[in-house]
A and B are shown apart, each in its own frame.
Chain A
Amino acid sequence: MPKDSTFWHLPRPEPHALAVTFGFEGAAVAARTGDTVASALLAAGHNTFRTSSVSGSARGPFCMMGACFECLVEIDGISNRQACMIQVRAGMIVRRMVGARSLVGDAGDV
């Protein structure tokens, strides 16, 4: 059953295995093979993917089709990747984008 503001999977007699584990902000996230980073994060209850580089406001996925650039996260050290366009892979390290990227690519370090 859903909790708070988490997306939840369609109930199935045999649920799809959550076979892929990756890291988000220090926590482990279990996802299904073929999920995008965006759908996996939403299913794990993470709604804020970044804080805007203009005002610091919280932003999350909006179009889910790679057109709006709201779902930007850092993946394996590379900044500003569209989470909805990238499939999860075991061991991925995902972090929120906090404002603008740095030149060296870290999302959060100055």
Chain B
Amino acid sequence: MSEIIDIAVIGAGPAGLAAASVTAQHGLTVVLLDEQPAAGGQIYRAIGSADAHLQDILGRDYAAGRTLLNILDQPAIDYRAGATVWNLTAQGNISYSLGGSARTLSARHVIVCTGALERPMPFPGWTVPGVMTAGAGQILLKSSELIPPAPTLLAGNGPLLFLVAAQYLRAGHRPAAIVETTPWRNYGAALGALPGALRANSYLRKGWALLAEIKRGRLPHYRAAKNLRALGTAHVEALEFRAGGRQRRIPCASLLIHSGIVPNIQISRALDLDHSWDPAQRCWRPRLGAWGETSLETISIAGDGASIGGAEAALHCGRLAALHAAWRLGAIESHAEITRLAKGERKALAVHHAARPFLDLLYAPPRAFLDPPDETIVCRCEEVSAGAIRGYAELGCLGPNQTKAFGRPGMGPCQGRYCGLSVAEIIAAARGIPLENVGYYRVRPPIKPVTLGEVSALSG
């Protein structure tokens, strides 16, 4: 009943496309599963349909992704769009949902390329309609050419925030302000990593150019902002914050927030893989070998889902994972051969990684979002507040799992994607211990909610 194939790639962003391409080139049967209707992941959303005008607005980095789609022309790649994976076993058995019906797949090797999520950035009022992630704003622009209603505020920190600001300026939409939350001390901390980052000077040049573009656009730019609070009940109406020693309130009809991105670890956690805490990126990462391999022979992870590196790094990681899988399945004879083939990828990767320490230090999330005021809703799905979580810590909850049992954070449909890190940070702060000692939610399938009808069909 279940199809048996060589390689399953989960996620058709840059890492997944690259992995599918390389495995197919080595003669393996490849199925590429992606839940979106079109390939490209988040970074290259709608890359196939974006015309020249939109590409100009979105910038050269985006446009460069277009050629990636040609990978799907390879006949050996069986690309299945709209496929939502909800279970993956250590043996490479995949359960997924396609067009409302249950499907299964058995792969001799699985490469997981599910990318990243925005880091949760809880603050009072962040759940009100009209408050979205900067990534959401960018998706609306890419997929539907939509501009948010004015006045638009951008709040938070990280390269994506500035990229979106610049893209709106190019589109003729001037955001009312950038409310940047980068603490002053980050600049000093990042300076030390600057020399190392010069190896990856293209990143620095691009970043510099973005900031210059924003400056030319004369966007009001508040720095080291604190005490964010979004006002409005049916819809966002204003953002309050403190910057430059003054309390401020700026009216807005749209508020895009961003505080960096973190690996999407739902699948790696559901497999009970080992994770390590990355103090620089302030996130959990699956423990991987040099080829993206995990402690499970059948499973590899590549791209931002392994560690945040960006789209180009993801291509190289995808290829490395593919080479390893090809060797493991006997499509490439010797390990010496894949080591040889990998040389160029590794060299390129090293350059991309060179900028990370600088970027991670500069855009380290401000403490305020890691330890927000009591009234802040931290688990959006179940509406559990930071104060309630602190209360559970006082009742003796040592980590997120007991907290989840007592108060329900993490039990909603997002399965902890937008609260897991925050809940752990709050407990760590309440207990005065490092976050890596607090841990994370126990994650189990389904990776995404799935109907009982589909689940029961698998045993019928």
Which residues of A come within 8 Å of B, CB atoms?
2-12, 16, 32, 34-36, 39-40, 42-43, 47-49, 52, 54-55, 57-70, 72, 80, 84-85, 87
Contact = CB atoms under 8 A, between A and B. Distances in A.
A69 B146 contact: no
Given A10-B54, A59-B129, A68 B414 contact: yes
A3 B417 CA distance: 33
B243 to A, nearest CB: 24
Given A34-B49, A47-B130, A65-B136, A8 B382 contact: no
Contact of A58 (B129, B412, B449): B129
Nearest to A7: B146
B130 A5 contact: yes
A35 B144 contact: yes
A5 B149 contact: yes
B128 interface: yes
A65 B149 contact: no
Given A39-B140, A61-B132, 7 more contacts: A5-B235, A9-B145, A57-B127, A62-B132, A63-B136, A65-B42, A69-B413
B398 interface: no
B418 A67 contact: yes
Of the candidates B49, B118, B146, B413, the one having the most CB atoms from chain A within 10 angstroms of its own CB is B146
Contacts of A16: 145
Contacts of B264: 67
Nearest to B54: A10
Interface string B291-327: 0000000000000000000000000000000000000
Given A58-B128, A69-B381, A85-B35, A7 B136 contact: no
A10 B57 contact: yes
Interface in B233-253: 233-235, 253
A63 B261 CA distance: 12
A87 B37 contact: yes
B393 interface: no
Given A7-B148, A10-B145, A66 B35 contact: yes
A63 B138 CA distance: 10
A2 B150 contact: yes
Contacts of A69: 381, 412-414, 449
Minimum-distance CB pairs A-B, first 6: A60-B129, A64-B136, A39-B144, A69-B413, A10-B145, A64-B139
A39 B357 CA distance: 36
8 contacts: A6-B149, A34-B143, A54-B383, A61-B136, A64-B139, A65-B136, A68-B380, A69-B413
Contacts of A32: 144
Given A34-B49, A64-B139, A7 B149 contact: yes
A8 B233 contact: no
Nearest to A12: B53
B133 interface: yes
B387 to A, nearest CB: 15
Nearest to B451: A78
Given A54-B383, A58-B235, A61-B136, A4 B253 contact: yes
Contacts of B383: 52, 54-55, 57
Contacts of B396: none
A34 B143 CA distance: 8
A2 B118 CA distance: 28
A52 B417 CA distance: 18
Contacts of B149: 2-8
Contacts of B42: 65
A67 B86 CA distance: 13
B172 interface: yes
Interface string B110-140: 0000000110000000011111110110011
A65 B133 CA distance: 10
A62 B128 contact: no
Contacts of A10: 53-54, 57, 141, 145-147, 171
